[in-house]
Amino acid sequence: MKILIIGAEDRYARHMPEDIPVTRTIEKIFLPRGASDEEIIAAGRDCEFLAADPMTKVSRAAIEGLPHLKMIHSEGVGFNGFDVEAAREAGIYVCNCKGANAGAVAEQTILLILGFLRQITEGDRRERIGEQMQMKETMMVKGLKEVSDCKIGLIGFGDIAKATAERLRGFGCELYYSSLHRKDTETEKAFHVTYLTQEELLSVCDVVSLHCAVTDDTRNMVNAEFLTRMKREAFLVNTARGDLVDNEALVQAIVEERIAGAALDTVFPEPTTIENPLLHLPEGFENRILFSPHVGGATASSMKRSHRILWQAVQDMTEGRRPENIVNQL
């Protein structure tokens, strides 16, 4: 048996669960992220399994060029780069590590909320250039907002949004959510959240946090109309996918002071290019966006959970069992 892995060999070695037998017996073939269709087909022609970073492109051409392939498994939760329909047509399972990074990304969400509210990057910069008192005086006059003073809205209410809601409870803030389908009363009570339509949520919340998948309906959902519906003093948080946001519309909303700003762990396209307009706000607006380099799910614990799920799926299939977390439901 063989598995083609598109990703860093040292990362797989570090997080591989030694107690799952197939990890010791299967032949592993590695390719770097960004491998072409031709490279994938040449390296994986005899492989039954393929594991890849969620952002890796696994195209229809690549899938059709791998005749023995039985399963494509995301190393994480996302599977944006995989041609799921082509895999379904070929009878190939596409699986992900559902829930593995929920707690880690929830922590990152809260970090970004706190970092934006407390102006953490500007404070750090000005402290380093001898302007500690000037920054402190500005903050004391303006008045920093506490999380407990905020109405926080979660768009989407899957594993990560639920983990975020759990962790925000201790801050004493009001929590709202919107989703395609409203949850049952017991779930809302358990997570102390109130359902609002997306339009209602945008109009009342001080923090709008994205927790939904990228689909044809959600791609660029954060557009000019979406941002116009937000409160002027509100800010956007994105720890989901950069594809959800129209970059130009976000820049325009910030520069025109229609929203306070944004805190982003994910940016489209990825990797972030130096030409991205989000990196080039006009003078005086530089601190209106707080960035982190898409590391919300990159904790050691999250990676270990993900790799355990991935390798267990391979083990299950080698023993004739259906894998867990199938996203294309054959």
Nearest in space to 47 (alpha carbons), one of 324, 317, 307: 317
- Alpha carbons 162 and 164: distance in angstroms, whole number: 5
User: Which ranges in 45-197 belong to alpha helices (H)?
Assistant: 60-64, 84-89, 102-117, 120-128, 132-142, 159-168, 185-191
Quote the Cα angle for 322-325-327, to 5°. 100
> Is 241 designated active site?
yes
Cβ neighbours for 215, distance < 8 A, ≥ 6 positions apart:
none
Token look-up 């494509």 returns 72
The first and second tokens of residue 73, run together, are: 């498994």
Of 15, 73, 241, 288, the catalytic one is 241
Amino acid at 227: L
Q: What are phi and psi of 31, to 5 degrees?
A: -130, 150
**Residues 114, 137 contacting (CB under 8 angstroms):** no
Rounded Cα distance, 7 and 298, in Å: 14
The conformation of residue 12, written as its DSSP 8-state character, comes to H
Catalytic residue among 126, 166, 270, 308: 270
Alpha-carbon span 241 to 269, nearest angstrom: 10
Nearest to 72 by CA among 38, 55, 89, 96: 96
Interior angle at CA 163, CA 206 and CA 13, nearest 5: 125
- Candidate list 15, 73, 211, 294, residue with the active-site label: 294
Is residue 270 among the annotated active site residues?
A: yes
Q: What is the DSSP string of 203-255?
A: HH-SEEEE-----TTTTT-BSHHHHHHS-TT-EEEE-S-GGGB-HHHHHHHHH
> Catalytic positions, please?
241, 270, 294
